[in-house]
Amino acid sequence: MVEDNIINEFAVILNRTKSQFELVEQFVPVRVVEGYFYEDEECFIDADQNVYSHIASLSTIGNVFLGRTSIIDILNKYKDMPLTKIKQKILSDLSKYEFFKNVDETSDEYCHIKMRDKETGDIYLFSDKDTVIYYEMYSELNQGKNISKEHPKEITNNSTTIEREEKASLTPDDIIKLVKNTIKGQDEAIETIVTLLWVKYNLPMINKTNMLVFGPSGVGKTAIFKKIKEILDIPLSIYSVTGTSQAGYKGHDIEEMLAQLYFDAGMDIEKAENGIVVIDEFDKISNNRDNGEIGTTAIQNELLKLIEGCERAIPLDNHTTVNMDTSNIIFVGCGAFSNLFEEKTEKRHVIGFNSSCETKTANQSKVDTEMLVEKGGIIRELAGRLPVIIQLNDLNNDKVVLKDILLNSDESCLYQIIESLHSIGIEIENVDSVVDNLVENAIKKQIGARGLIGSSMNMFLKVFKEIGNNPNKYNKLIIGENIIDNPNDFELLTIKKKTKKKINTTQN
């Protein structure tokens, strides 16, 4: 027997509704929950301590459950799906059927559960592993009464688990590898972020872990989360906190980020309440910044309420609101936080425009909660709700990583340009030299990985124009070494392919 305090199973919860027939009850699947089966009372108890009788039991009040299945078995069957997606899939497939229960004690089919296919009208006798208990109680009435030709393919005799195509399971390493194909030079940060999110969607009994991700502009802070969202198909919104103000002042409302998440989840409130909010430019609400923003401390206090977990009425428009519980939403603060590593030098008394005090960059040390509070300008309570602090590497001076981004990242603009030109039959000469020049230019101008995108596209604009004006004319592109500064430094050629002469072997 499983201990009654171990949440180890999924079950589908159905809402009991009135039927047009007096002695028939109708049930509608409404959600999938985690919980455990309490054998002594033959009931299912969910994580919130709600108690449900089985659909085939003699109970006549309250919602009911069916399809009790091991969490491990479900996760193995729905290999690469996140938890919220699994629940949505199960409910979507079950919504094709109507569930009925005969409560006429004089009927030979008393307490039988039937499923009606809404599309075809076919009726099936429903059975899962718990219905057997109740059917045996009326075995003398059940003999020979099975009206089902066969069970629907989606539902088996042993459970209501919905069958789906078997796909390779996405382990944390699988996800990490896919993210690294796009984001270069941030291996440690990617591994930490992916692992934390994998835990959220695969080990739901563990409380959520909010985090703070910081690093210079353009190194991949939000790009990591965009890629994870693409891979896992999870509700994740990226909200720039710049321009947000406290309640009562003109500016963005703090609740807009929740509305954004709600729409990102397809207006599915359950998915939204298990989603992720990435708060970009998080350092802009620092309360020690001289940025002219109104009430940064008040904004931090508003954020604190959401991150801690609360229920808020989220305005969607002038007339519509939706209640959202933020307890299971992961919040991620993203920002440069350059002030963490700046030290003010002693003020020099200089006459003229250079009279302000100077700053210098301190050696980067491990950032902790105290540092966020003292130097980062984040109130202690809010900093304490972001227990995992992740620092991204500064790529501005890393030649190896910048070159790797240009040549190997899935989202490298230069890589896409090269592949596109190859696809229309144009060979490119002198790529390596140009890559080196692009990297040197990025380091010189300190534009980072993000700046490489603009540099690559600007470099080829004249090339694209010439190719577009003369389709199918060229098959070779020679890139000049100065093309970064001079977009006309290239040559497009039409090279005739050599053909072998046919040797006449006919003898006269």
Q: How far is it, in rounded angstroms, from Cα 271 to Cα 237?
A: 12
The tally of CA atoms less than 13 A away on the side-chain side of residue 255 is 15
Under the banding of pLDDT at 50, 70 and 90, the label for residue 484 is confident
Residue 334 has which token pair? 């993203």
Higher-confidence residue of 436 and 18: namely: 436
Looking at every residue in the chain, the average pLDDT score rounds to 77
Which pLDDT score is estimated for 244?
61
Give yes or no for residue 408 having a pLDDT over 90: no
Under the banding of pLDDT at 50, 70 and 90, the label for residue 505 is very low
Which pLDDT score is estimated for 387?
92
Higher-confidence residue of 305 and 141: namely: 305
H or E segment to which residue 37 belongs: strand 24-38
Q: How far is it, in rounded angstroms, from Cα 2 to Cα 75?
A: 19
Of the listed ranges 72-81, 150-159, 182-191, 405-414, the least confidently predicted one is 150-159
- E-strand spans in 398-485? 427-429, 476-479
CB of 328 closer than 8 Å to CB of 275: no
Q: How far is it, in rounded angstroms, from Cα 28 to Cα 155?
A: 16
Higher-confidence residue of 392 and 132: namely: 392
161-175: average pLDDT: 55
Give yes or no for residue 357 having a pLDDT over 70: no
* Burial letters 350-367, b for 16+ CB under 10 A, else e: eeeeeeeeeeeeeeeeeb
Under the banding of pLDDT at 50, 70 and 90, the label for residue 497 is low
* Burial letters 466-487, b for 16+ CB under 10 A, else e: ebeeeeeebeebebeeebbeeb
Residue 286 has which token pair? 């620092």
H or E segment to which residue 435 belongs: helix 431-445
357-386: average pLDDT: 74
Under the banding of pLDDT at 50, 70 and 90, the label for residue 163 is very low
Kindly list the structural domains of the chain, giving each domain's residue range(s) and its CATH number in brackets, ordered by start.
Answer: 9-142 (no CATH), 172-391 (3.40.50.300), 399-493 (1.10.8.60)
Which pLDDT score is estimated for 425?
87
Higher-confidence residue of 498 and 179: namely: 179
What's the whole-model pTM score?
0.57
Which pLDDT score is estimated for 72?
82
241-266: average pLDDT: 70
244-270: average pLDDT: 72
248: phi then psi, degrees, rounded to nearest 5: 95, -10
Higher-confidence residue of 66 and 290: namely: 66
68-77: average pLDDT: 84
432 Cβ neighbours under 8 A, 6+ residues apart: none
Give yes or no for residue 196 having a pLDDT over 90: yes
* Burial letters 175-198, b for 16+ CB under 10 A, else e: bbebbbebbbbbeebbbbbbebbb
**Using alpha carbons only, how large is the chain's radius of gyration in Å?**
31
Give yes or no for residue 359 having a pLDDT over 60: no
Which pLDDT score is estimated for 5?
58
